[in-house]
Chains A and B, each alone.
Chain A
Amino acid sequence: MSDSKDKGGLSRRGFLQGSGAVAAATALGTIPTGASAGQQAGGNGQQVPGMGPNGVKLSLNVNGRSMNTTVEPRVTLLDALRNYLDVTGCKRVCDRGSCGACTVLVDGKPVYSCSMLALEARDKPIRTAESLVAGAKLDAVPEAFARFDAQQCGFCTPGFVVAMKAVLEANPKATQAEVERGLCGNICRCGTYEQMRDAIYSLCNQQRRT
């Protein structure tokens, strides 16, 4: 696996490092259609710049604020948020896409920030649990969690409230079953699922009555 086996872009690795976003804008063409069959794909590939492996500049839009840092390509969104930007609401528990503690909203949808590269989250609005508190005022979701006693140790809570916020935003009139489905991507070791479901369902009920 020596570098000499690599193709075009890599030999220019050092030169191009960090200039990715700008150079990528020169990209040509669209998805191949039947017409492009047989065409040698080699040509325009050379123009795609590589980023890294050393640190590259990263700008993220977190909870409405633009935040800047420098990360190696291997840094996940979770680690960039926690370790580079000090946004620590998202928690690192399994680091394998299997527990939900790291859940954040990207483009309004819940995702596991441990299983996404920070570089993949450029240009997308990111929301973490921090966005559900303004000063001393809690958003309706964490407020309902508190009211329904929907946590014990609380370590899973930041991931759950973010996932539940997405459920509520997608469907303010969600049924109990729909709320439960929304909970499916998060694990609570203390087992407070029923209280969490009831907390969110109480908010859906409110919507229903109006």
Chain B
Amino acid sequence: MKNFTYFRPTTAEQAVALLENRWGNTELLAGGTDLHDLQKEYVAQPSRVVSVTGIGALAGIRVDEKQATIGAGTKLAAIAEHADLRRHFPSLCEAASDIGGPQIRNMGTLGGNLCQRNRCWYFRDEHTPCLLKGGQRCYALDGENKYHAIFTQGRQCVIVNPSTLAPALIALGAGVNILGPKGRRSTDLAKFFFSPANANDREHTLAANEMVLEVTIPVRNWANASYEVRQKLSYDWPLVQAAVAFQGGRNGAKATGVRIVLGHVAPTPHIAEAAMKALEGRDITDANATAAGRAAAEGAKPLSQNAYKIRLVEVAVKRALLMAAGMKRYWEM
């Protein structure tokens, strides 16, 4: 990796003051599980690295009756193991506990998870000058695109967003607090992600001189679950993920406020509006969950090698809904 000057501020203000207003020369470092990979491949070549691990107040979990607040520096393992989080948000804790293996979860942080770069192999190869590295074309469009997006309409770059916490958090209605040179701002996590198209874009809407401080989740006793289809139990990112949340839906009550968010099917976490509508105000039955799964996959425009994901979406949505409603997990028997 290219050598750099290392900074270790102890407050978030200091960290932000060290950032620059364009991407590339200065990078934030949290657990390093993604950044160092990119540096070793010379895809990221910062000459300044600002570590956030000295900012003690950036890590921590608070849960009260109204909301949960999780600091950006909180380790994935701490999220997976937190009893109050698990009680309210099993979808989030399950997603966290399925990431990588124990070592990745002991190192990786929430902030790094939301801001990690995509896993497209053309992007991660130093020598392939695709759109996101200042080149003229997307090599995945007519190349190896088995793990790429299936909701591709209007996209020049067909990555999938790699975060498995994001779909769970968005389904739960999470918000994100951000610090920049002018102070704090907040936004819905649903609006945080971005479909990049060139080397000046990232997979999120942060400015280069902003950082994530914390994520907030409303506590409202909604049923929730996340289901991932994976090739292997550890190390891999999922092929497809469905995260759901709704009010009611258990013991014969109708489900309302239904939220269904898909991961690994589009350049951003994908909000499955048609499926949400299809299920709104209905009971969670096998038939209704199946119908919602079908609706979620509607409109997909897969690439040459990934039409298989359509079926996985249908199944993942159905299973996530049944899990959230506390119904029998027929696939585990």
Indicate whether A112 reaches chain B with its CB closer than 8 angstroms: yes
Q: Beyond A31-B213, A115-B32, is A42–B102 a contact (Cβ under 8 Å)? A: no
Place the interface of chain B in its size category: 35 or more
A64: Cβ under 8 A from any B Cβ? no
Q: Are A36 and B100 in contact (CB under 8 A)?
A: no
Which listed residue (A5, A27, A38, A115) contacts B36, Cβ 8 A? A115
| B103 contacts A110, C-beta separation under 8 Å | yes
Q: Which residues of B contact A157 (CB under 8 A)?
A: none
In the assembled complex, how far is the CB of residue B46 from the closest CB belonging to chain A, in whole angstroms?
Answer: 9
Interface pair B104/A97, CB less than 8 Å apart: yes
A41-85 contact mask (Cβ, 8 Å, vs B): 1 or 0 = 111111111111100100000000000000011101000000000
Interface of B is mostly: mixed
Interface residues of B in 162-221 (CB under 8 A from A): 179-184, 213
| B-side contacts of A96, CB under 8 Å | 37, 40
A91-103 vs B, CB cutoff 8 Å, 1 = contact: the mask equals 0000111101001
Interface centre among A5, A20, A120 (most CB of B within 10 A): A120
Query: What 0/1 pattern do residues 43 to 78 of B give for CB contact below 8 A with A?
Result: 000011101011101100000000000010000010
Indicate if the CB atoms of A20 and B103 lie closer than 8 Å: no
Nearest CB on A from B112, distance (A): 11
Q: Which residues of B contact A49 (CB under 8 A)?
A: 7
Contact among A51, A95, A120 with B53 in the assembled complex (CB-CB below 8 Å) = A120
Contact (A117, B25) CB under 8 Å given A9-B7, A27-B10: no
Tell me if A115 and B5 are in contact (CB < 8 A).
Answer: no
Residues of chain B within 8 A of A52, CB atoms compared: 3-6
When the two chains form the complex, which single residue of A48, A184, A187 contacts B102, counting CB atoms closer than 8 Å? A184
> Which of B15-23, B251-259, B262-270 is near enough to bind chain A?
B15-23
A31-B57, A51-B6, A120-B32 as given contacts; A44 in contact with B14, CB under 8 Å: yes
- With a CB–CB cut-off of 8 A, which chain B residues contact A150? none
* A133 interface residue per 8 A CB criterion: no
Contacts of B87 in A (CB 8 A): none
CB <8 Å contact, B182 and A100: no
Q: Give the distance in Å from the alpha carbon of A61 to the alpha carbon of B171 in the complex.
A: 43
In the assembled complex, which residues on chain B have CB atoms less than 8 Å from the CB atom of A9? 5, 7, 18
- What's the Cα separation between A56 and B49 when bound, in Å? 15
Residue among B5, B53, B101, B234 making CB contact with A53, cutoff 8 Å: B5
- Is the CB–CB distance between A32 and B12 below 8 Å? yes
Distance in angstroms between the alpha carbons of A72 and B12 in the assembled complex = 25
Flag if B11 contacts A29 (CB, 8 Å): yes
B106 CB within 8 Å of chain A = yes
- A112-151 contacts to B (CB < 8 Å): 112, 114-117, 119-120
Asked whether A38 lies within 8 Å of B3 as measured between CB atoms, the reply is no
Residues of A close to B39: CB separation below 8 A? 74
CB of B9 within 8 Å of the partner chain: yes
Q: Please tell me if A172 contacts chain B, counting CB pairs below 8 Å.
A: no
Residue A28 interfacial (CB < 8 Å): yes
Q: Which residues of B contact A114 (CB under 8 A)?
A: 36
Instruction: Check B11 against A30 for contact (C-beta < 8 Å).
Output: yes
Q: B25, B101, B179: which contacts A41 (Cβ < 8 A)?
A: B179
What B residues does A116 contact at CB under 8 A? 31-32, 36, 107
**A30-B57, A46-B17, A51-B5 given; A112·B107 CB < 8 A:** yes
Q: Does B233 contact A (CB under 8 A)?
A: yes
* Residue contact B235 to A31, C-beta cutoff 8 Å: no
CB distance from A109 to the nearest CB of B (A): 4
- Tell me if B181 and A7 are in contact (CB < 8 A): no
20 extra interface residue pairs, beta carbon distance < 8 Å, beyond A5-B20, A37-B183, A44-B14: A5-B25, A6-B25, A7-B20, A20-B6, A24-B9, A27-B10, A30-B11, A32-B179, A32-B184, A36-B13, A41-B16, A51-B6, A51-B7, A74-B1, A74-B4, A114-B36, A115-B107, A120-B32, A166-B102, A184-B234
